[in-house]
Structure 1
């Protein structure tokens, strides 16, 4: 049978553990919301700054961007913004991963994006063989 002193000690231990967990979570939340990221294109024509959630907060376009095709410029802005968002996202993930590894949180925050996955491998159509003609031929081969 457990003595009253043991129960009091267990209760105090659990209360202190809960207090540490709550303080660690609050500290992680405070740190996470202050994360920002910034990135620039290699040529310096585009620079983007984002907040902790990856939202664009500042965009700088150098005078030379007018020479770019609008589609190229849009792709460049998107790419630089995504690069800027990768920094705060990784920092927040590291913070919560450490808390998870220490057993202070059971799961990652639900809105925390997963790390970027590598792009899927592109399958290429096999090169035509010499005996092939220019007309379409159905084959039982994967592209």
Structure 2
């Protein structure tokens, strides 16, 4: 029994040492991941976007000829694609930073019988693969969409409220006998 306890204690000591080392490595990787960025340029060179570690756009640049060589709709779509690619690249880089920390770590289900696997809770790394069923709109479609989307919507109809009738003043005739025991009349 003492031999089993000593072996369990040694195993726990080893696990604790490993956890402490990994915690330090994790802090370093997390610090580096927090400053990770990705800058992506569109294939036509008209748009360049930088995305931060949270997947948010931190810088957006247009080539000087971008507005003369493209339509606003096409530029908007290009911005969306470039930002999405940047976010996926940041996710890939952060995943690369963190993956060595996951190697050799026993899963929770391996340590404790009946415990869930932590692998089920890891979010997937985003991809930027275009939807295969999606076809890009033609230049005419872009112009039509821009023309209709730039027109302001008509204002909502104005509904005038009718003024509420004013309440009249209560009569000041208190000469009559009160009709209620609450107003000082006789009780039953």
TM range (shorter): 0.5 to 0.7
How far apart in 1 are the matches of 2:12 and 2:66? 64
Residue of structure 1 equivalent to 2:103: 101
How far apart in 2 are the matches of 1:39 and 1:79? 10
Taking structure 1 as reference, are residues 120 and 57 closer, same or farther at Cα in structure 2, changes over 3 Å only? closer
Pick the aligned partner of 1:114 from 121, 125, 128.
Answer: 125
Residue of structure 2 equivalent to 1:61: 62
Structure scoring higher RCO (CA < 8 A, sep ≥ 6) equals 1
Residue of structure 1 equivalent to 2:167: none
TM-score, normalisation: structure 2: 0.53
Gaps of 5+ in 1: 123-143
CA deviation profile, 1:86-132 (whole Å, cap 9, x unmatched) = 2211011223333223217744875x55332745553xxxxxxxxxx
RMSD: 2.9
Pick the aligned partner of 1:74 from 51, 72, 76.
Answer: 76
TM-score, normalisation: structure 1: 0.67
Residues 1:84 and 2:86 aligned together? yes
Verify the 8 A CA contact 2:92 2:125 in the aligned structure 1.
no
